Copies of this chain bind each other. A is one copy, B any other.
């Protein structure tokens, strides 16, 4: 069989990990482009790409699959340029954390939206790993809303299979999803937790209200639960402002859903209803299990 040709646009943590996985697991030839020449060079040194290229038209030339892994605000223009220069059988996909915006902006049957549920607060190709996607869900969606295999043309169907097969070699699971459902889901399980982490540290730091304990002790005033709950507070603004902006409609809806939930807990507390508080807490234990797909145990340390 011919060697698979992959182009990666944006060789940061995700793009770099895609490159490493393509080369190590699919024996692919990987060309890479990044707006930052330093990142291109590091990607080559790390072995994330075979070849660093300075122009998008050159890097996508002859590629079977193109991954756009640039910041969310740059995705639409980057994918558009890639589609302009990509061949008729090439599949162009992205790895952005929001999907409706790009799905609505790109009308091209060679494009399939993507979002691997992987990553970390670490960024840059230096932290890229060929096993980053192992066991992860990799959402795919296209402009139809319907998606996956339901495609109405052979080229697209064959191209989608090519993409899904490659994702599977990464150890990830390709899962088709509607772009709107995807964005509402991410607003709740990703962006809302980030917002709450930011608000918790603001409130704990005594911004506004007087939370100052007024001592100069060396031990922390917070325990491990606060540390975990706020781990993502103040995550990389270069990435997160884009995500907030791109998914703000769904995030607003998630906030609008959270506030009445807070009001309901407030009522239980005000009424001092111990039984209802216990029931609410037990429900949360079961809900966490369900959401995390766990067979047993509520909190991580039960």
Contact = CB atoms under 8 A, between A and B. Distances in A.
Among A188, A215, A229, the one with the most B-chain Cβ atoms within 10 Å of its Cβ is A229
Contacts of A265: 195, 198-199, 255
A301 B281 CA distance: 30
A99 to B, nearest CB: 13
A201 B277 contact: no
Contact of A270 (B194, B248, B263, B284): B248
Interface residues of A, number: 103
B287 A213 contact: no
Interface string A218-234: 11111111111111111
Contacts of A245: 272, 274, 277
A69 interface: no
Interface string A247-274: 0100110111111011101100110101
A257 B210 CA distance: 12
A277 B296 CA distance: 38
A8 interface: no
Interface centre among A118, A177, A190, A220 (most CB of B within 10 A): A220
A272 B233 CA distance: 20
A177 B215 CA distance: 9
Copies per complex of this chain: 2
Contacts of A266: 252, 255-256
Interface stretch (A18-26, A29-37, A76-84, A235-243): A235-243
Nearest to A256: B266
B287 A202 contact: yes
B278 A241 contact: yes
A117 B219 contact: yes
A204 B277 contact: no
A196 interface: yes
A2 interface: no
Contact of A255 (B228, B262, B300): B262
Given A202-B283, A209-B257, A299 B222 contact: no
19 contacts: A117-B219, A117-B223, A121-B299, A188-B203, A190-B222, A193-B200, A197-B229, A198-B280, A199-B258, A205-B290, A207-B283, A226-B291, A233-B284, A233-B288, A233-B298, A234-B286, A241-B278, A245-B272, A248-B269
